[in-house]
Amino acid sequence: DHVAGVARIYGDTFGAAENDAKIDELTSVPKASSESLGARLAMAQRLMGLRCPPALLNDVERTLEEDVANLTDEEKANFELVSEVYGSTRMLMACVEDKAVLDTVIGGYKCDYSKDVLEPVRAVRPVNGGKGWSDEIINALRTNSVANFPAKGGASAA
């Protein structure tokens, strides 16, 4: 919906011909990306959710709906787990690498975003060699939740 509207307003102002010439480059998976399609879809969805208005995000979700529905069981599990990690405030804070900026962001809150808490979250990011999630991070997110969800694998957190 949004792409068609923007195209009507701006025509080829955005250089569609140039982008067509770069189609292979634009559609290739960067080296730092996860090989998991489910993980890549979840990261894209969660990161867009941070910056895009709900109407645009809804359009993207409708566009990706078939791709997500056709994921294998393993890819669906990756999608769900990466979505859980990238939807957490810990991942949001882990993406802030500048200590002064991080301190400013969390300055007034009594929360633990220390290096010990954020380093394992940073490690699961594909740009740092991770796959987008780990059992350790999933369990930490679930067991430290106010809702006290069970740990991954069904073990209840005490």
Mean pLDDT of 38-42: 88
Inform me whether the pLDDT recorded for 20 exceeds 50.
yes
Highest mean pLDDT among 17-21, 27-31, 93-97: 93-97
Mean pLDDT of 99-119: 79
Evaluate whether 134 touches 77 at the Cβ level (below 8 Å).
no
Nearest to 137 by CA among 85, 68, 59, 73: 85
CA dihedral of residues 108, 48, 141, 133 (deg, nearest 10):
-130
Mean pLDDT of 123-141: 92
Helix (H) or strand (E) holding 139: helix 135-143
Whole-structure pTM value: 0.65
Q: 149: Cβ–Cβ under 8 A, 6 or more apart, which residues?
A: 142, 143, 157
Inform me whether the pLDDT recorded for 158 exceeds 60.
no
Q: Which of 21-25, 53-57, 77-81, 89-93 has the lowest mean pLDDT?
A: 21-25
- Report the pLDDT value the prediction gives residue 156, as an integer from 0 to 100: 47
